[in-house]
Amino acid sequence: MAEPVLQENEKVTIGYNPVVVRRLLRYLKPYRIMVVFALVALSLSTASELLLPIVLQRAVDRHLVAVWRRAPLDRVAEHAPLRDAVERSGTVIGPWAYVLEVDLKEIPAGVQRALREQDLLSEEQYWVTPVDHPETAAAVDANPERIERSQTHAAIPADVARGLDAPTRLALRAHDLRGITRLAAVFLSLLVTVLFTAFIQVYLMASVGQGVMKDMRLQLFDHTLHQSLSFLNGHPVGKLVTRLTNDVETINELFTNVVVNLLKNFAIMAGVIVTMFLLSPRMAAVTIATLPPVLFFTLVFRKKARDAFREVRRWVSRVNAFIAEHVSGMPVVQMFVREVQVGREFARNNDKLMQASLSEMYVFAVFRPIVDLLSSVSLAIIVFMGAQFLSLGVVSLGILIAFIDLAKRFYQQLMDISDRFVILQSAMAGSERVFELLDAVDRMEDRGALTLAQPVLGRVEFETVSFAYRAGEPVLRDLSFTVEPGQSVAIVGYTGAGKTTIANLVTRLWDADRGTIRLDGANIRDIPLAELRATVQPIAQDVFLFSETVAENIRLGADISDERVREAARTVQADSFIRALPNGYETVLEEGATNISTGQRQLIAFARVLAHDPRVIILDEATANIDTETERLIQAGISTLLAGRTSLVIAHRLSTIKHADRILVLSGGELVEQGSHEELLAARGLYANLYRLQYEP
């Protein structure tokens, strides 16, 4: 089966991928209550924003510049639209019916002119006010010859009213002033509602985004932990880190800034269009006619932004991988004086990233001014046409003001969508890369259900085992041998003979291509991985220590007492140097454990394995980095530890394995010799040649 490989070039979708979205939505399940509340807040916020221009229009048309026309009450029934307007909002004073001019807008201007010519509608404008306040009643009573009144209302010609003194005019408009005050309170309440619901929406979706990011990162890290070494070795660390950090962060941005806000943007845009047609179909048609150029440039922007974003993501990934690789290999860079060359190569990659980022910014720098220009042109057209309609009596001043406000809101949503499209683009691309990593399953099968008999004896058998890291390049060929319980078997050979591969196969870091490996007679594939690796533990040549305390590096999260940790350290002669550290066992090691020597790192690795007390120990070049004096100190401890345990000792330094019960000599992945140290020397074969090369001048 072909190994899953992550794509080298970062894939970028067209902005929306339904399959990816469905998978992302599954992560919302634990937070569905918060999402529901966020959607409720979104609905309230959207409704409040759409009501603001309507409240403004009502304040202008019905109170601020409210004017009335009158019609003979006995003739209103002659014209159905006029009759409907009177029945809907008219006021009857004596023989006259008064109708707000804004309520006559549904009657075409030509029809209104005909009504005025037929004396069905007055040419003159009026102020109409309820007589429900002492000051208003006093003003009406003081001008009986000018004002017509009923028990509840009074009407006065607008040109006459404007000639009255200021206190009288104020008294006659007291009702409108109270109406404006009420609508101002409603306007303020809507603004507070928008503010409050926006806060709730942002807070809840930020919490959801952080929760999803936490869950996804945990899943990704757990998934990566269980991948096989062939997978991990085949992909740069920088790329894997980018997917665990940057790509997951883009998904957080998706839930925090895109999902709900996009719904709100589209809801407001749709609501704006509906509201426009409800207020004035003519003005709405004019507004819609100005949109095609804006929509065209928006589509062009999406394509250009996608292309620019593709380049940015590609070079971000390359720069991250370059940094991770060269920081890890900095000792080699410095040792071979490659700082200048590496700096130049990084500068080239960094320049490419900068150019890609500038290209992305260039798209925005061109798009936003164009959209601003077109939105300004659209507003100018709306104002111009609205002024024409206003002069013809087709629309009211309040409707014109409301349309300007609605148009601004529409274009603001369009700008927000274009901005969030980039985040959506990034999130879709990041999600694809995250799911690509999750879908790349290349791990050791762990279907074993066989429990080893207790106590574990530690008998290891290789039966015609063959293995190759790459097809056609075998490392082991039909290898067979047996290590009896308690035996110490050494494995030697030239570099590339397959010694370390044996350690990897016993612990199932890799699986053999052919043949069988048994532990106490059981196929290791039938043993659960956790149990197998608790029973068989290696001490590698290249020791890796975490940036934790010395004690925690020995304990590795297991339930091991402090005394047992110290006892393991004493056994391998590590206790004395650990106590000499600034905080003893609680000293925190720096990254790469650079605050202790190579030999000390090796001793801590010894203590780590001893503390976990495995039944089978593999010493893979375990003393290669320890000086002769230190090696002599720990040999006694190792001999004591290995007594009664099965051990495989892999070493180039033949002095460390002279006392092994048996020595296996590998060449080209095959077992060519075996026996004790003395027997192999006497045989004068490959082992004797290796020994002579090391110890004879």
Residues 430-441 pLDDT 10s? 777 788 888 877
CA dist., res. 649 & res. 647, Å (int): 6
Q: What is the pLDDT of residue 629?
A: 64
CA dist., res. 442 & res. 458, Å (int): 29
- Please indicate whether residue 627 or residue 316 has the higher confidence score (pLDDT): 316
The strand pairing partners of 92, in sequence order, are 97
Domain ranges for the chain, please list them.
Answer: 18-56+180-439, 460-695
CA dist., res. 382 & res. 389, Å (int): 10
| Residue carrying structure tokens 């990816």 | 20
- Top CATH class of 18-56+180-439 equals mainly alpha
Return the H-helix or E-strand segment holding 403: helix 397-439
Contact 319, 350 (CB under 8 A): yes
Cα distances (angstroms) measured from residue 644 to each of 291, 487, 506, 566, 617: 85, 8, 19, 22, 11
CA dist., res. 590 & res. 548, Å (int): 8
The strand pairing partners of 604, in sequence order, are none
Count of Cβ atoms closer than 10 Å to residue 447 Cβ? 9
Contact 643, 617 (CB under 8 A): no
Contact 585, 562 (CB under 8 A): yes
Q: Given pLDDT bands bounded at 50, 70 and 90, which one contains residue 664?
A: very high
Across 594-620, average pLDDT: 83
Contact 515, 680 (CB under 8 A): no
Q: Which of 532, 639, 548 is nearest to 591 (CA)?
A: 548
pLDDT tens across 256-295, in order?
778 778 888 888 989 999 999 988 888 888 888 888 887 7
Using DSSP, state whether 232 is helix, strand or coil.
helix
Q: What angle do CA 49, 55, 59 make, to 5 degrees?
A: 155
Kindly tell me if the per-residue pLDDT of 297 is higher than 80: no
Using DSSP, state whether 4 is helix, strand or coil.
coil
Cα distances (angstroms) measured from residue 38 to each of 28, 205, 215, 537, 549: 12, 7, 20, 51, 44
pLDDT tens across 552-582, in order?
988 888 888 999 999 888 887 888 889 989 9
Kindly tell me if the per-residue pLDDT of 656 is higher than 80: no
CA dist., res. 576 & res. 473, Å (int): 46
Using DSSP, state whether 498 is helix, strand or coil.
coil
Close Cβ partners of 679 (under 8 Å, ≥ 6 residues apart): none
Range in 182-186, 564-568, 598-602 with the lowest mean pLDDT: 598-602
The one-letter amino acid at 360: E
How many Å is the Cα radius of gyration of the chain? 42
Q: What is the pLDDT of residue 8?
A: 47
Kindly tell me if the per-residue pLDDT of 427 is higher than 90: no
| Backbone angles phi and psi of 577, in degrees to 5 | -75, -30
Across 224-251, average pLDDT: 74
Q: Say if residue 374 is exposed, middle or buried (CB neighbours under 10 Å; 0-12, 13-18, 19+).
A: buried
DSSP letters for 290-359: TSHHHHHHHHHHHHHHHHHHHHHHHHHHHHHHHHHHHHHTHHHHHHTT-HHHHHHHHHHHHHHHHHHHHH
Q: What is the pLDDT of residue 299?
A: 73
Kindly tell me if the per-residue pLDDT of 624 is higher than 60: no
pLDDT tens across 459-501, in order?
999 999 999 988 888 899 999 999 999 888 999 888 778 888 8
Kindly tell me if the per-residue pLDDT of 338 is higher than 70: yes
* Cis status, amide bond into 455, omega within 30 of 0: yes
Give percent above pLDDT 70 in the chain: 92
Kindly tell me if the per-residue pLDDT of 5 is higher than 70: no
Return the CATH superfamily for domain 460-695.
Answer: P-loop containing nucleotide triphosphate hydrolases (3.40.50.300)
pLDDT tens across 14-49, in order?
456 778 888 888 888 899 899 899 999 989 999 999
Range in 290-294, 333-337, 662-666 with the lowest mean pLDDT: 333-337
> What's 501's DSSP letter?
H
Q: What is the pLDDT of residue 197?
A: 93
- Please indicate whether residue 586 or residue 595 has the higher confidence score (pLDDT): 586
The strand pairing partners of 675, in sequence order, are 663
Using DSSP, state whether 33 is helix, strand or coil.
helix
Mean pLDDT of the chain: 83
